[in-house]
């Protein structure tokens, strides 16, 4: 089976790095940051910045650049791997599954995070969007993974914590598995059409190893 994993909120708790970089971007622009920033984890940056910057393209691009500068320097290290993830990944490897990452992070930001994992070699490929895109692109990245691996959609799963992950799965007729330890809600994942929801990594391992 081909198992495609989201990164933020699925493999890692990246709230500290992402929120700190968003605040930094607003500070650099002299614009007050929203009090609540947790919901920024998952959607494309331009999508989130635009309504708070009057949909001004120049300001939005400046905010994204400020975000990326801090993330490249510091933010990529400000995360932790969720408990139980490493054991679950090893279990899937032992079961003979192929693993890849499909993330909304640009590849240049995601790659050093993945490379630092003690289980980095478990993942055959890493898919990230064009850094200039305002869209999630999960559907197109999942499609690319299916083509690269020559995988049958019926033998593929997309695992993630936000509706973007499930939307991409549904668009490609693969099963979407929603994880409840991340940044999305049960309601969000169910409304998007998640095939099944899991509460912890060991439960995901049981489901996929079987």
Catalytic residue among 6, 13, 165, 167: 6
Does residue 4 contact residue 54 with C-beta atoms inside 8 Å?
Answer: no
C-alpha–C-alpha distance, residues 70 and 20, integer Å: 9
For residue 97, give the 3-state DSSP assignment. Answer: coil
C-alpha–C-alpha distance, residues 168 and 108, integer Å: 21
Q: Name the E strands within the chain.
A: 2-5, 12-13, 80-81, 98-102, 123-127, 156-160, 175-179, 196-198
54 catalytic per annotation: no
Token pair belonging to 73: 């320097």
- Annotated catalytic residues are 6
């Amino acid at each position: 089976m081909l198992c495609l994993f989201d990164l933020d909120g699925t493999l890692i708790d990246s709230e500290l790095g992402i929120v700190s970089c968003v605040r930094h971007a607003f500070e650099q622009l002299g614009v007050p940051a929203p009090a609540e920033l947790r919901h920024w984890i998952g959607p494309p940056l331009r999508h989130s910045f635009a309504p708070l910057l009057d949909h001004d393209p120049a300001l939005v691009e400046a905010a994204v650049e400020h975000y990326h500068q801090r993330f490249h320097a510091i933010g990529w290290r400000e995360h932790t791997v969720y408990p139980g993830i490493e054991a679950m990944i090893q279990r899937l490897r032992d079961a003979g599954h192929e693993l890849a990452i499909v993330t909304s992070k640009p590849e240049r930001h995601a790659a050093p995070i993945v490379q630092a994992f003690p289980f980095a070699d478990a993942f055959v490929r890493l898919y990230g969007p064009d850094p200039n895109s305002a869209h999630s692109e999960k559907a197109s990245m999942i499609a690319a993974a299916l083509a690269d691996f020559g995988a049958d959609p019926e033998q593929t799963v997309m695992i993630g914590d936000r509706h973007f992950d499930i939307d991409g799965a549904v668009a490609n007729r693969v099963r979407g598995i929603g994880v409840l330890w991340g940044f999305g809600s049960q309601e969000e994942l169910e409304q998007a059409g998640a095939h099944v929801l899991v509460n912890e990594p060991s439960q995901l391992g049981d489901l996929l190893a079987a």
